[in-house]
Each structure stands twice: as structure tokens, then as C-alpha cells.
Chain A
């Protein structure tokens, strides 16, 4: 255990990348997820088709492939660069891949939430003269979000854990699981305590997230 603790700076650095990956990916996937959902329920058939195609396509592709496409395909093969330093370049490509993937699950959760809103409220909003966009942004999405806070918490927990795929799939982000592997490779840490240490690190991130979202979903629930 001392060997593990003597490398604590590497552990902390790893988790700091994990947290950054999670925060940016959560933000972008949330925004993209809302856009996809809005497209999915819009009156324009082309937008609905695009959204459905995107969600069904990406959601059913392994995350590893999505991230490999970003890392090996777009970043390495096509040479598209998002930042000057390599560390940040791969970081942003990982964020893009994770966001593109997670947005599908955000969108599917939100769509389930929309289905719980009584049609009558949408009709009432329409009959006041609200436009489609106003109806969505003032009446439908706010209520849908409140009903799916719990499921969105699960999506976030999955995202936290999915950040570990970023290093496996060719994007060398120095996140926690990659730091762990490097520590093994360099032979500077005993295997078992290191595993347990990193697992506890992830629990410290995920458990409070779960409890927080559970609390939040009760707090903001819409009483009908």
C-alpha cells in the first residue's frame, strides 16, 4: 500500500483528467442530446429522420469504435488537430467521441421523459399561441428533464466509467485507468493494492453522483 500511496500524485493527476473528460463530455452530450431530442419530436420529417438515424447509428456502435474513429481516423490518419499540445489534442478528440456517444443516451432518456407529459399541456400551450420552439423550451423540455433526472444520473455514471475507454482506444489521454496501466508497466506499484486504490477512486466519483441525482430527482419532481 505504501508503494501505491507514494505514487499518489500520479493517481491524482489521472483522476483529474478523468474528471475533466467527464465534465466536458457531460456538458456537450447534454446540449447535443437536447438538440437531438428537439429534432426527434419536430414537425419536420427530415430533422426527425436525421436524429433517429444518428441516435440509432451511434448508440448501437461500440464506444471503442467511436473513439478509435476519432483517434486513429480523424486525429491520426486525417491529421485533424484540436490543440497544440498532444495531451490536449487527444483530450479534445476523446471529449468529442464521448459526447457524440453519450448524447444518444441523453436523447433517449429525454424522449422517454417527453412521453410522460400529457398531450393536453402541449395543446394548451399551442392554444395560447406559443410557437413550436417556445412550446418545447418552456413547457415540454423543462418538464421532461425533471422526470428523467434519475436516468440522466445513470447516464453520467456510465460516462464517468466510459472515460477509461479513451486511453484503450488509441487516444492516450492520461486518465486514471491509463495512469494505472503505466504504473504497472513501470513496475512501480504492486498490482492488487493499485487496482483497489483506483477502484476506490472511481467509487468516490460515481457513488456521490448517484446519490446526488437521486436526491435531485425528488427535489425537482413535478407533482401532477
Chain B
């Protein structure tokens, strides 16, 4: 079976001042794959996720999307970002726009879709994330879980090639985590290519094709969820898992 990698990171390095946050990262994600990135705080996993749509620049190395290197800036970069959906920890919905407007803004302003078409598709997506009945509310009127589902719909509206999730459930009250994970699990089943930074080990086991374990800016271990959670190869991973699975 030959598969073309959709996202490729080659020998990527990044520093924040003296701090070496990404060390020689090599990673490739094939179309339809769900890669879950886990690791202790400060291991560089969020930074890794953010480099893929260039919200963070890199010092050395290359990142390819669909075989093309990321453009540095300008319209090329904007076009690239429209192909890469991003879901943030803090939702980041546009506070002055309704739920529906949040979802239709990108398709109308970036893809140039007519309003009727964007609205129809937007409602379809909001129904899909089970929030269609709140379409005309403002973000501040919704719970965190609802806001995050809107953020997922907003990203999906651009028909992205890949969706990045940067700790999508970390800012949620515990009872709202599941509704967001359910939506993400559905997406994974439907074949969406996803890179997910998360602390939700249940989701990693259930939905991931591959788990990437990071520590100190390096990818320490990559494996299938079954193998990783049952037989972690590295000391760092064993240590990490023992801490999070025992409490």
C-alpha cells in the first residue's frame, strides 16, 4: 500500500530564546490518519501543532503540506492556512459575531462562497456538531463545550485537508469534555486527517491510529495506541504513563 504523506515535518528545530523547544522533529501524517500527540507540560507538543499552520515559525528544517513547503507569508500562507483547520484550547470564537457568522465568515471571505451557500453548509455543520438550534446566539451565551463544538464546525467549514487540535478539552469543565470528544471521534471515524494534542488518554486509545509521545522537545516514541499504552518502550513514557494512569 502506498500512501502519500499529507503533512511532513523534516528535522524541525525551534528555540524560544535559550530554550530549545523543538529538537530535530521528524513526523509524517498520511491522509485519513489520526495522530495523537501526548507528553508532559512543556514538552513542545502545542508548539509542534502550531508550527504546522505556521502560527509558530521554525528555525531550521522543513514542513511540507501535500508535498509543498509552507509559504513564509502573504497570500500563499493565507491559502495554506485555509487548508489547515485549527481548534484551540480556548475556543477563540469571534465574540462580536453569532455562532452561524463564526462558521460562515471563512467560507465567505476566504473561499468567496455566496452567503446562501455558506449559510446552508454552516447550518449543516452546526447540526452535525449538535448545536444547530443555537446558531443565532453569541459565543458568550454558550457553555465551553458548546463553544468548542462551534469552533470545530468553523474549522470544518473550510473543508480543510487536515485538522489540528491544540488541547481542545483542557479548558473545559469535566462534564463537557465528553461532548467534544464525541464529535472528534465521529470525525476520526469519517476519515478526517487529524493531529490532536491532548491529555485525554481515553480518546487516544479509542480514536488514534498512532500515538506520538514527546518530552523535552523531542519525539521519544511513536506507536499504535495499543502498543504504546500496554508496552511503552522508553523510560520517559513509562514514567509519564505511570503518573497519569494511577491517579
Q: Which residues of A contact B (CB under 8 A)?
A: 43, 118, 120-121, 123-131, 134, 138-139, 142-143, 146, 222-224
**1/0 per position for B41-78, CB-CB distance to A under 8 A?**
00000000000010100000000000000000101001
**B82 contacts which of A129, A222, A223 (Cβ < 8 Å)?**
A129
> Does B247 count as interface, using CB distance less than 8 angstroms?
no
What is the distance, in angstroms, from B133's C-beta to the closest C-beta of chain A? 20
Query: Which chain A residues border B15 with CB–CB below 8 Å?
Result: none
Query: Using a CB-CB cutoff of 8 Å, which residues 85-114 of chain B contact chain A?
Result: 85-86, 88, 90-96, 105-106, 109-110
Tally of contact residues, B, Cβ under 8 A: 32
Q: Interface of chain A, helix or strand or loop or mixed? A: helix
Report if B128 contacts A (CB, 8 A): no
Q: Is the CB of A123 within 8 A of B78?
A: no
- B105's partner among A120, A128, A131 (CB-CB below 8 A) is A128
CA distance A223 to B154 in the complex (A): 20
Pick the 6 closest A-B CB pairs, nearest first.
A129-B82, A120-B92, A124-B92, A128-B106, A127-B86, A223-B140
Interface residues of B (CB under 8 A from A): 53, 55, 73, 75, 78-86, 88, 90-96, 105-106, 109-110, 138, 140-141, 151, 154-155, 158
| Partner among A123, A130, A138 whose Cβ is within 8 Å of the Cβ of B92 | A123
Q: How far is the CA of A205 from the CA of B242 in the complex (A)?
A: 71
Cβ–Cβ contact B55 & A123, under 8 A: yes
Complex alpha-carbon distance, A74 and B59, angstroms: 52
For B102, the closest partner residue in chain A by CB is: A124
CB distance from A8 to the nearest CB of B (A): 45
With the chains together, A100 CA to B24 CA distance in Å? 53
Quick check: A143 and B96 within 8 Å, CB to CB?
yes
> Chain A nearest CB: distance from B90 CB in Å?
5
A16 CB → nearest B CB, Å: 37
Q: Is B84's CB under 8 angstroms from A127's CB?
A: yes
